[in-house]
Amino acid sequence: MGTHRKIEIMDTTLRDGEQTSGVSFLPSEKLQIAKLLLEELKVDRIEVASARVSKGELEGVQKITQWAGERGYLDKVEVLGFVDTPASVDWLVEAGAKVMNLLTKGSLNHLTHQLRKTPEQHFEDIRSCVNYAKSKGITVNVYLEDWSNGMRNSMDYTMELIAFLNEISVRRIMLPDTLGLLHPREVTHFVKLITTEFPDCHFDFHAHNDYDLSVANVLEAIYNGIAGIHTTVNGLGERAGNAPLESVIAVLKDFTDYRIGLNENKIFRVSKLVEQFSGQHIPANKPVVGENVFTQTAGIHADGDNKRNLYFNDLLPERFGRQRKYALGKTSGKANILKNLQELGISLEPDELTKVTEKIIELGDKKERVTTEDLPYIISDVLQNNSISKNIFIEGYHMTHSKGLKPTVQLKMSIHGKPYEEHSSGDGQYDAFMRALVKIYRSQGLQLPKLTDYHVSIPPGGKTDAFVETVITWDYGKIFKTKGLDSDQTVAAMMATEKMLNIIDKMSHSAPDRVNLKELKNQNPEQNKENFYGNEYSASAR
């Protein structure tokens, strides 16, 4: 392969990428993506639209060309046009564009059955269109639509078309694998044949990903003389999409010595914007830009990274504006947790680290998604559990919540080894739980504290499966708080309440003169009622 040859990257997210089913960019969105591609990522060229599609498409191109003209990028903005002199060219002129990518028939099959013309007729139509475009100040590149089938089934025609385009001096000849049907050996054979026959021509290669071979085919095309590559951000495009820009950048930088002028540390930023505008979610395992691709899950990997970066490769996340993460879950182990603690600046004692690890594994077994943002909440919950001796347990519960009916709870508890069971209804699930709890404690002549505050929060960036931390403030002669952590808000509140029961159990044993429920009932029944289910339940608790 040649040394230090410059490879052009032409990104067609705004044209071919928009052919993804369900994707349609607004004119303002197209402008924002164009700005990022040219100014931040610094791709060589962008293809932004097809001529004559709609008024909205015209408006979008006009926005881009006006901006590009002011910034000196107009020769980098390209529009797909058709052999329909003068319609497409006139549309480009109205749009303010200066470069047309002319779509011609690269296979005899397409020419014969779609256009129903002879090669000679098609060549003359192309000549007329190119001459007219040049007369209007438009530079012309030419697509050979269905080129891959042309090389397979009508090579004489396809080679004749390339020779004709070379004669009329178009700027670039673009070879699309329109149906994504080529494998790397075919790309090597066909591209080498063409670049050897026409060594002075600039050829682009345009890969589709139907067999998941687009990046491999791009690499073979580059090795065999192709001067430009077409991509889309996140691999958007018709059917299985196009060669993804993010993967092509990584492959060219790491497996070739060719020059590309792209600023790869901006790719993740551009990728996320295109994800938002397109509505097409990036798969979590997508190379370079997927959520999980720089996340180590297995604890042995984190341990190896701690010792000598044993599980690193050249795809370092910092290259792409990202950071390596260490997943928290049932396979993570202490090494992953240590990595996350270092990031947060937290240090735990060995026994505390063991308990945090056990909690994370327990949550991972439930298939809960544990994140770095969850870790302080988990640590806080574990440390508070650590400090409380437990003689009282919530053994089981059954909750219902139906429209038009009050929520109900059936509650099973263990107090110093003795089982209790009660049910109740309430204004909310937690209120129903508390009323059932009151019945159990009333039967034992025990007093509960007053609930004075109830606060719910989720870790920053939490999603629908995020953990919920419930912090409840209690008044039992002195003010104290308990915390509960779960993916369900009511269960988190119940966990906080269980901690409270164990704390007051210890208080009661250390203060034998504390007033009990029977004394309160004898003194003032109405006061007793308020202590249990009056003002202590705020609206948020219900």
Q: Which residues are catalytic?
A: 15, 145
Burial of 513 (0-12, 13-18, 19+ CB in 10 A): exposed
Please report the DSSP string for 383-418 in residue order. HHHHTS---EEEEEEEEE--TTS--EEEEEEEETTE
Helix (H/G/I), strand (E/B), else coil: 266: helix
The Cα–Cα gap between 196 and 192 comes to 6
Q: How many CB atoms lie within 10 A of CB 136?
A: 13
- Render the burial of 7-20: b for 16+ CB within 10 Å, e for the rest: bbbbbbbbbbbbbb
Do 6 and 258 contact (CB within 8 A), yes or no? yes
The Cα–Cα gap between 232 and 222 comes to 17
Do 162 and 133 contact (CB within 8 A), yes or no? no
The Cα–Cα gap between 165 and 152 comes to 20
The Cα–Cα gap between 298 and 449 comes to 45
Where do we find the tokens 């438009």?
A: 138
**63, containing H or E segment:** helix 55-71
The Cα–Cα gap between 35 and 67 comes to 9
Do 340 and 371 contact (CB within 8 A), yes or no? no
The pair phi, psi for residue 273, each rounded to 5°, is -65, -45
The Cα–Cα gap between 67 and 73 comes to 8
Do 80 and 117 contact (CB within 8 A), yes or no? no
The Cα–Cα gap between 503 and 505 comes to 5
For helices 27-35 and 55-71, give the axis angle rounded to 10 degrees: 30
- Render the burial of 35-49: b for 16+ CB within 10 Å, e for the rest: bbbbebbebbbbbbb
The pair phi, psi for residue 208, each rounded to 5°, is -110, 160
The Cα–Cα gap between 506 and 388 comes to 9
Cα 79-85-91 angle, rounded to 5 deg: 40
Q: Residue 305 contacts by C-beta under 8 Å, 6 or more apart in sequence?
A: 296, 311, 312, 324, 339
Q: How many CB atoms lie within 10 A of CB 334?
A: 18
